[in-house]
Amino acid sequence: MSKIVIFFSVLMFLSAPSYSQSSKENFQNQVPKIYNWKVIRVVDGDTLEIANDFLPQELKLFIRIKGIDTPEKEARAQCKKERILGQKATELTSKIIATAQKNKQAITFSEIKWDKYGGRIVAKVMINKSDLGQELIKKGLARVYNGEKKKSWCY
């Protein structure tokens, strides 16, 4: 009896890493290429909180807008300038999302991947075929960002 328990324990232990990788691949394969998730909160200029409807149980997820970095706000800001710009970026993102929701415009997410830390999803965010990240860059409240070391907003 104990040999059977040990055997299955070892088998489960050895299969855990492959299950983890398999789960990640399954997630990426099962999520449609373009998705309309409900934005429930703007966390900061480049992060949204969404409510899913694609998992068996409702789960709130955080989406980082692909390809941009906005200044930090509040305590995470490195200087007063960054804090002010971070607040402006958050306000603009909030305004754009609220206007889109009020006008029943499509807010779509595509190019979906887990971020490098695993706690958020990175996705391209479009509002009526307009790229939200590019809109923030045009307004001077975001920079192009593709995973490299972030540049300071305090200069």
Q: Where are the domains of the chain?
A: 1-30, 33-144
Q: Would you identify the CATH topology of the domain 33-144?
A: OB fold (Dihydrolipoamide Acetyltransferase, E2P) (2.40.50)
State the first-to-last Cα distance of the chain, in angstroms, to the nearest integer.
68
Indicate whether 9 pLDDT > 70: no
| pLDDT, average across residues 57-71 | 92
2-22 average pLDDT score = 44
Higher pLDDT, 98 or 13: 98
Q: What is the pTM of this model?
A: 0.76
Identify the pLDDT of residue 78.
92
Question: Is residue 25 helix, strand or coil?
Answer: helix
The mean per-residue pLDDT over the stretch 2-25 comes to 45
- The answer to whether 112 and 28 are in contact (CB under 8 A) is yes
For 51-98, give the secondary structure using H, E and C: ECCCCCCCCEEEEEECCEECCCCHHHCCCHHHHHHHHHHHHHHHHHHH
pLDDT digits 0-9 by tens, 103-155: 999 999 999 999 887 788 999 999 998 999 999 999 999 999 998 899 999 98
Pick from 81, 104, 97, 80: which is nearest to 133 by CA?
A: 97
Picking from 37, 145, 35, 39, the residue whose alpha carbon sits closest to that of residue 95 is 39
> Which pLDDT score is estimated for 13?
42
Confidence of residue 24 (pLDDT cuts 50, 70, 90): low
Confidence at residue 155, expressed as pLDDT on a 0 to 100 scale: 83
pLDDT at 29: 58
pLDDT of residue 15: 46
Tell me the HSE value of 29 on the side-chain side, using a 13 A CA sphere. 6
List pLDDT tens digits, range 98-109: 999 999 999 999
